[in-house]
Amino acid sequence: MSDKLAENIMHFGRLLRRAGLPVGPGQVLDAVRAASVVNVLDRRQFYWALAAVFVKRREHLELFAEAFGTYWKDPWGADQLLSLMLDQAQRDTMQPQTKRRIRDAWSAPVPTKTKPRQEDEEEERIDTVLTFASDEVLRKKDFEQMSAEEIERAKKLIERMRFDVADLRTRRRQRHHRGRIDLRRTLRQNVRTGGALMPLAFYQPRVRPPTLVVLCDISGSMERYSRMFLHFMHTLTNHRDRVQAFVFGTRLSNVTRSLEHRDVDVALEKLGQQVQDWSGGTRIRSALHLFNRHWSRRVLGQGAIVLLVTDGLDRDVESGLEFEVQRLKRSCRRLIWLNPLLRFSGFEPLASGVKVLHRHAHEHRPVHDLSSLEGLVSALGA
């Protein structure tokens, strides 16, 4: 293999990393080895050799295909050698339909000359202010409009979120130095002392965090937002006990164990291997039916809160969605519908599935930016 081809593969790996794919030096070396055992002049073989190394999750394949078609262009026609034999692939002007993350990753940052520092304290204060201001702008920005760099920053902010869900009072009691008088324990203590003294015993109701159940739609219409919400689900699962996570498209999958891994990349990789219906159709009624039949009695006891993340655009032609939503509502303490379409001021519940969810959910909240996620955290703590 020529050194120019290996260098181009290295530059291609950097492009993928800037676009948001987890590409490291080890994968670049594996890609060079993979390219050496295929016919690099056969574009199909070369494509799948690199895809086998760089693509680890189903949702990364579309970005990889866009980046491959943009980077490995043939400037002389199909009968000539591929542009991988050039010193570096030609950087043509991006087409309007090219994905924004690829356009942003294609434009490498231009190094700027820095002047020597003279007043460190003033510079640090200005940098802090600018960072705070940029994070405030990022909190109000729609996930769909974020660049690859902004998506990575948003993920870091999600990882730092803390969840103070309001505790739930139970019927069980616990000893306390004040509260209501525990008559039985007071009488038992009185018998032991022979009635000489009458110390009072007190109790208070025991509290515990409620179970949180997340049902997240991963269909094609929700793809832009469900990927970010999965990071929110990972943070939620790792910072709280009693969390149950499910995803659904055309089928229902329990992904709680996959998300329990501390490393978010490993957790989402396991989740991607487990779930097979990414970015497909939506069958909300079927998913809720399976949940109500097989999982509701296991996870919805003792005042559970359900977060239903979907736009309500159901492709399931069968009737019965209203019955399943009503059953789910009766089985939990709060049913919170998180809908990215609520970001539009003129939103109206016109689709049949949207009408049903709008009619029966206890709360309706948007889920399209960091600010809406922070609002959800505050609502759970109320």
Asked which of 82, 106, 130 is the last residue of a domain, the reply is 106
Q: Determine the pLDDT at residue 92.
A: 42
Identify whether the C-beta of residue 338 lies closer than 8 Å to the C-beta of residue 377: no
- Please report whether residue 292 resides in a domain: yes
Q: Please spell the DSSP secondary structure of 219-287, one letter per residue.
A: SGGGHHHHHHHHHHHHHHHHH-SSEEEEEESSSEEE-HHHHTSSSHHHHHHHHHHH---TTS---HHHH
pLDDT in tens, 260-311: 888 888 888 888 888 888 877 888 999 999 999 999 999 987 789 999 999 9
Identify whether the C-beta of residue 50 lies closer than 8 Å to the C-beta of residue 16: no
Q: Residues 203, 320: one domain?
A: no
- Please report whether residue 320 resides in a domain: yes
Q: Determine the pLDDT at residue 91.
A: 43
Identify whether the C-beta of residue 316 lies closer than 8 Å to the C-beta of residue 283: yes
Q: Residues 229, 356: one domain?
A: yes
- Quick one: the chain helix, strand, coil %, rounded to 5? 50, 10, 35
**Cross-strand pairs, 307:** 214, 336
Q: Determine the pLDDT at residue 339.
A: 92
Q: Residues 196, 261: one domain?
A: no
**Cross-strand pairs, 350:** none
CA distances from 19 to 101, 107, 116, 368, 375 (A): 5, 11, 32, 21, 29
Q: Determine the pLDDT at residue 361.
A: 93
Q: Determine the pLDDT at residue 106.
A: 56
Identify whether the C-beta of residue 58 lies closer than 8 Å to the C-beta of residue 272: yes
Mark the ranges of the chain whose per-residue pLDDT is less than 50. Answer: 74-98, 108-133
For residues 41 and 81, give the distance between their C-alpha atoms in angstroms, rounded to a whole number. 7
Q: Determine the pLDDT at residue 289.
A: 94
Q: Residues 66, 201: one domain?
A: no
- Give the range of the structural domain holding residue 308, as residue numbers without chain letter: 212-381
Q: Determine the pLDDT at residue 184.
A: 83
| Helices assigned H by DSSP within 82-141 | 100-106, 120-139
Q: Determine the pLDDT at residue 222.
A: 87
- Please report whether residue 38 resides in a domain: yes
Q: Residues 237, 349: one domain?
A: yes
For residues 292 and 377, give the distance between their C-alpha atoms in angstroms, rounded to a whole number. 25
Q: Residues 309, 261: one domain?
A: yes
Q: Residues 269, 376: one domain?
A: yes
Question: Both tokens of residue 154?
Answer: 């948003």
Number of domains in the chain: 3
CA distances from 55 to 21, 219, 249, 308 (A): 8, 20, 22, 30
For residues 84 and 71, give the distance between their C-alpha atoms in angstroms, rounded to a whole number. 9
Q: Determine the pLDDT at residue 168.
A: 72
Q: Determine the pLDDT at residue 290.
A: 94
Q: Residues 369, 278: one domain?
A: yes
Q: Residues 237, 367: one domain?
A: yes
Asked which of 208, 237, 262 is the last residue of a domain, the reply is 208
Q: What angle do CA 24, 145, 378 make, to 5 degrees?
A: 95
Return the CATH number at 227.
3.40.50.410
For residues 16 and 152, give the distance between their C-alpha atoms in angstroms, rounded to a whole number. 14
Asked which of 50, 77, 106 is the last residue of a domain, the reply is 106
Helix (H) or strand (E) holding 186: helix 183-192
Size (the chain), residues? 382
Q: Residues 197, 302: one domain?
A: no
Helix (H) or strand (E) holding 215: strand 212-217
Q: At what angle do helices 60-71 and 3-18 cross, to 10 degrees?
A: 130
Amino acid at 184: R
Q: How many C-beta neighbours within 10 Å does residue 149 have?
A: 14
- Please report whether residue 102 resides in a domain: yes
Q: Residues 11, 70: one domain?
A: yes
Q: Is 94 helix (H, G, I), strand (E, B) or coil?
A: coil
pLDDT in tens, 227-247: 889 999 999 888 888 899 999
Nearest CA among 334, 326, 344, 314 for reference residue 376: 334
Identify whether the C-beta of residue 373 lies closer than 8 Å to the C-beta of residue 338: no
- Please report whether residue 150 resides in a domain: no
- Please report whether residue 345 resides in a domain: yes
Identify whether the C-beta of residue 337 lies closer than 8 Å to the C-beta of residue 325: no
Q: Determine the pLDDT at residue 214.
A: 94
Q: Residues 93, 187: one domain?
A: no
Residues 6+ apart with CB under 8 A from 32: 1, 6, 9, 10
Question: Both tokens of residue 334?
Answer: 């709060």
- If you search the block for the tokens 């866009």, which residue do you land on? 66
- Please report whether residue 269 resides in a domain: yes
- Please report whether residue 258 resides in a domain: yes
Identify whether the C-beta of residue 197 lies closer than 8 Å to the C-beta of residue 29: no
